[in-house]
Structure 1
Amino acid sequence: MTHFWVDVRPWRTDLATAAIEAGAGALVVEAAEDARALGRVTTVAPDGDLVLGTDVLFVEVTPEAPLPQATGESLLVVSTPDWTVIPLENLVAVSDHVVAVVHTAEEASLALGILEKGVAGVLLRTDDATEVGRVAAAVAAKAPALGLEAFTVTGVRQIGMGDRACIDTCSLLAEGQGMLVGNTSSAFFLVLAETAENPYVSPRPFRVNAGAVHAYLLKSDGKTAYLSEVRAGDGVLVADGKGTTEEAAVGRVKTERRPLLLVEAETAVGRPAGIVLQNAETVRLLGPDGPVSVAALREGDVVLGLAMTAGRHFGMAVGETITET
Structure 2
Amino acid sequence: MKLCWLDIRGAGGAKDAIIEEAVHQRVDAVLSDDVADLASLPPTVTRVLMVSRGELPRAADEVDAVIVDSALDAERAEIAELYPKAEIGRFVEIVDSDTLDLACEAARTDPWSVLWFHEPTKIPLEIVLAAANNSKGGVITVARKMPDVEILCGVLERGSDGVMLAVNDVGDATEFKERTRASTPDLALVALTVTEINDVGMGDRACVDTCSYLREDEGLLIGSRSSGLVLSCSETHPCRTCRPGPSESTPAAFTRTRSRRTVGRTT
Q: Which has the larger radius of gyration?
A: 2
| TM-score, normalised via structure 2 length | 0.48
Higher strand share: 1
